[in-house]
Amino acid sequence: MARVEYDDVSKRFPTQDRPAVDHLGLDVANGEFLVLLGPSGCGKTTALRMLAGLEYPDSGDILIDGRSVVRLEPKDRDVALVFQSYALYPHMSVRDNIQYPLRVRKQLTAMERLSKVDRVADLLGIRQLLPRRPAQLSGGEQQRVALARAIVREPRVFLMDEPLSNLDAKLRTHTRTELKALQKQLGVTTIFVTHDQAEAMTMGDRIAVLDAGKLQQLGTPDNVYQRPANLFVAQFIGSPPMNIVDARRDGGALVLTGGWRVEAPRGLAGSDGIKVGLRPESIDLERAPASGAQPAEVLVSEPLGSEVIVNVKLGDALLKIRTGPDVRPDPGTPVYLRARPGGVRVFDASSGAALN
Amino acid sequence: MTTRAASRVARTAAAPRGASWIEALAVHAVFVLVVVFFLVPFLWLFTAAFDADAVAYIRFPAAPTLNNFVRIFTEHDFGRALLNSVFVAGSTMVLDVIAVALAGYSLSRLEWRFKSWITYAVLLLQTMPLSATMVPIYGLARALGLRNSYAGLILIHAAIELPFLVWLMKNFFDNVPRYLEEAAWLDGRSKLRALAEIVLPVARNGIGVVAGLAFLAAWAEVLMMIILIDSQDLKTVPLAFYETLRTQGGYTEVQYGLVAAMGVLYAVPVMALFLMTRRMMVRGLVASSRGL
Amino acid sequence: MLLALFFVGPALWALYSSLTNLALVGIDAANPRFVGLDNYTRLFADPDFWTVIRNSVTFVVGSAVIGQFGLGLALALLIDHAEHRRWWLGTLAYGAVLLAWVNPTLIAGFLWVAMYDFFFGSLNHVFLSSLGASSVDWIGSFPMPAVIVANIWRGTAFTMIIFLGALKTIPPDIYEAARIDGANAWRRFWDHTLPSLRPIAALALLSITMSTFGTFIVIQTLTNGGPGNATEVIALFAFHTAFKSFSIGYGSAIAVVMLGLNFAFAIAYLRWSRARA
């Protein structure tokens, strides 16, 4: 149960040109589940490792509960880390793996340790695995053991480095919900690293989106989805990704590629080069011409069972539109597009920053 | 926020990470001892070889000379010994490489009934120390008339190294993916040609290692030399060494300068080879122990 | 036809190697005296034989177990440690140890003859006298230790290489996890490094024991078994009886014993490594 702060943290590895982490500032509230999200190489794992004590920042500070921890050894920081590879000790049984952190700290008797291990094992449903060795376990089981080892210490902060990425898809979604429920139950501040935006959206209380070492946006999943702070976030979050097209201003309207006129959102700051973003679900599709609806041509429809993604050509842009399961126009069919007013997001073409 | 950060920059920049200086000192001290222990004898070798009045202890020659080298060639026929050693070692290498390449390939690729037996036997043979087999080899050589003959020397040396090298070669071949040959077969190559054109070049490293080791083993071999050779014509370097000792009689009469000169010529090629192909050699040797 | 070619290769070498080893049986049988098992009974009754066995065991324990294995392990650990910190002296040490091993065995023997020589050897002349101590007759007074040290000098590289290789296969994640779990450097070593090395250590030990068992050249050049038979190990014993005393039969019997022991070791070795794999 602790607050975590990153205070203007930067780090550059000697072999690289640009910083791995670039002036990162972040606050994590007590008991919060914060997700560090971003593509590979964006610095999220480095940031996590700095909190764990496995890397040292070049500048800036990291605080837990208001106290700086950068000078402390990992073992003195009272954080637990679940590795992407699980890092289970191969030469020890599962039970010994889990009780290792307790044994090292020498505070409990053997009896007390073992009962703690049993309790955690019950919590995760791995009691029967205790006498086995890591090599004998499946991926999912190994992951739980890694979790157990982290939980048994009752640390102030949980750190997780893409713990689900080595699991197969079905197990991954299942474990996602379990993990989230577990975290809520234990109430420990957790920082979770992933490159999977769906994972971030479902699990995080808040998401910190990083790219190239810089924090792009910090906000709730809702925030990040509906009001992305820049082009990067807009395109990274959401599947299928947000449609981005070039546009220009024309009075109170925006003219998109292909000549589509859309009402400009109120209070829009002026700027010349702009791009407009529309999520697939923010575009309505009509079969018949109607006033104000922009004609376009269907390229292909992708039925997904509960919905259909219609790929549409407009000017030289390809738009993806989400529709109900019965709307499935054939290629070449003309359709008519209408943008939902709340869904128009405008970005500065050069900086990528959101303008509304 | 910014002022806090600024004040912390200086503190965190000096992140404590390196080893304590005591630890560094201790480890370095150990290393120095190790280096000294392992290199000092070589120091003697190189200083004594150039010393006209060489003695057993290390000292820089007052008057460095190549006389020792001259003498071993003129007085003790070292040239012949050297040539013999080179010839035997070289022939052994050639013979071994051919045999080993074939055998290794078969063990690696082909399936036949007694394969596991043979593999097991190879492993077993690999572990036999030479000194145990020297008696029967002597008998065998005498019976077959192989003593005091080049053929005998080469054959026996080749046979000695075979188990180990075959094992090594097999491992190297195992690392060559099968689909390379399969592609060649589909293209119309016969198996033999595929082997020669595709597999061997890829396994080139392995063959290099095997060749090097075969040469080295034959070059360094002493026991077999003692057992198999009596005549002066055939003597190889190790025997030349022993001769120098014997003709001088008694320990204190050893002509250290000559011995050192011989030693230099004997050892330097090995060291040079080693320095050049370090990685390959070590890898080969590690593979042999790991291969099981 | 091509397949036949491939069969020929292995068949040839199989023939060779088996000949050289199975010839033993042939030799024994062809022994002019046909004394059967007499040689063996005589052998086991011979007190010299047991001295030789004792010598061999001492030698192997001292050189292989303590020296080569222990030193090899220690060196590997230190060098690995140094490599992480980029201390170049570690690489130099590695090279030095390796150099001693790569050279022909005979060189090793002679170099140490020079080192140990009573009147002029380097040890006495250079080192001890500079410390003010008087010369020691190494080979005369301490034959076994002298021979052991020389062999350690020569042979340590083998185990060192094996252990270095093994150390590199330990995933670094483990150490990081241990650091976070709270283990300090010593604990990390004891709890993780050593146990991970254990399987390979057993193999290395067996291997080095087997090969040290047959050392011949180093001892022969230094002491030739002497003084008396203080350093006569089994390989030398076989050699001396077979060739110096010309009792080939007896010598063969010794060789058989050697092979038998070696065989036993080899089986254990193979069994163990199979189990591991």
Nearest Cβ partner for B127 among C5, C216, C262: C262
In this model, does residue B141 exceed pLDDT 80? no
Round to whole Å and give the CA distance between A216 and A203: 19
B93: left (phi over 0), alpha (psi -120 to 50) or beta: alpha
- The per-residue pLDDT for A107 is 78
Residue, of A137 and B193, whose pLDDT is higher? A137
User: Do residues A147 and A186 touch, judged by C-beta distance below 8 A?
Assistant: no
Q: Is the pLDDT of residue B48 over 80?
A: no
Pairing of strands A214-219, A21-28: unpaired
Which candidate, C10, C18, C19, C237, places its Cα nearest to that of B143?
A: C19
What does the pLDDT look like over A165-200, one tens digit per residue? 888 888 888 899 999 999 999 999 999 999 999 999
Mean pLDDT (chain C, rounded): 75
- C112: number of Cβ within 10 Å: 27
Contacts of B37 in chain C (CB under 8 A): 153
Cis amide linkage into residue A131, ω under 30° from 0: no
Kindly report the pTM of this predicted structure: 0.77
**Rounded-to-integer distance, Cα A337 and Cα A314, Å:** 10
CA distance, residue B291 to nearest chain A CA (Å): 22
> Does residue B5 have a pLDDT over 60?
no
Would you place residue C1 in the very low, low, confident or very high pLDDT band (cuts 50, 70, 90)? very low
CB B161 within 8 A of CB B103: no
pLDDT in tens, C184-217: 878 888 888 888 888 888 878 888 888 888 788 8
pLDDT of residue A233: 93
Is residue B15 pLDDT above 50, yes or no?
no
Q: What percent of chain A has pLDDT over 70?
A: 99
Check CB contact under 8 Å for C103 and B270. yes
The count of other CB atoms within 10 Å of the CB of residue B194 is 19
Residue from C111, C146, C156, C149 nearest C223 by CA: C146
Nearest-angstrom CA–CA distance, A252 and C74: 79
Average pLDDT, chain B: 71
Q: Residue B252: what pLDDT?
A: 47
Cβ–Cβ below 8 Å for B135 and C87: no
pLDDT of residue A354: 85
Q: Could you tell me which residue, A207 or C57, shows the higher pLDDT?
A: A207
Q: State the Cα–Cα distance between residues B93 and C198, nearest whole angstrom.
A: 36
pLDDT band at A49; cut points 50, 70, 90: very high
Least confident of A135-139, B182-186, B287-291: B287-291
pLDDT band at B246 (very low <50, low <70, confident <90, very high): low
The backbone region for A12, taken as left when phi is positive above 0, alpha when psi lies in -120 to 50, beta otherwise, is beta
pLDDT at C276: 60
List for chain A the helix, strand, coil content (%; round to 5).
30, 35, 40
- Asked whether B101 and B252 are in contact (CB, 8 A), the reply is no
What percent of chain C is modeled with pLDDT above 90? 0
CB contact under 8 A, B5 and A7: yes
- Residue B262, pLDDT > 90, answer no
Q: What is the mean pLDDT of residues A148-154?
A: 90
By Cβ distance, the residue of C178, C187, C195 closest to A91 is C195
- pLDDT confidence band for C37 (50 / 70 / 90): low
Question: What pLDDT shows up at residue B291?
Answer: 42
Average of pLDDT values for B31-57?
Answer: 76
- pLDDT at residue B233 is higher than 80: no
Option in C100, C114, C263 nearest B56 (CB): C114
Q: Kindly tell me if the per-residue pLDDT of C167 is higher than 90.
A: no
Nearest by CB to residue B5, choosing from A60, A70, A71, is A60
Asked casually if ipTM beats, i.e. exceeds, 0.90, the reply is no
* Predicted local distance difference test score (pLDDT) of residue B248: 47
Distance from CA of C199 to the nearest CA of A (A): 10
Separation between Cα atoms, residue C262 and residue C255, nearest integer Å: 10
pLDDT interval class at B6 (50, 70, 90): very low
Could you tell me the pLDDT band of residue B16, with boundaries at 50, 70 and 90? very low
CB-CB neighbours of A171 under 10 Å: 15
Any CB–CB contact under 8 A between B132 and chain A? no
Residue A219's SS3 state is strand
pLDDT of C63 > 70? The answer is yes
What would the mean pLDDT of B211-218 be, rounded to a whole number? 83
Residue among C222, C228, C168, C216 nearest C193 (CA) = C168
Lowest mean pLDDT among A96-100, A110-114, A235-239, B124-128: B124-128
The per-residue pLDDT for A34 is 94
CB pairs under 8 A between B and C: 285
Residue-level pLDDT at B71? 74
pLDDT band, very low/low/confident/very high, at A26 (cuts 50, 70, 90): very high
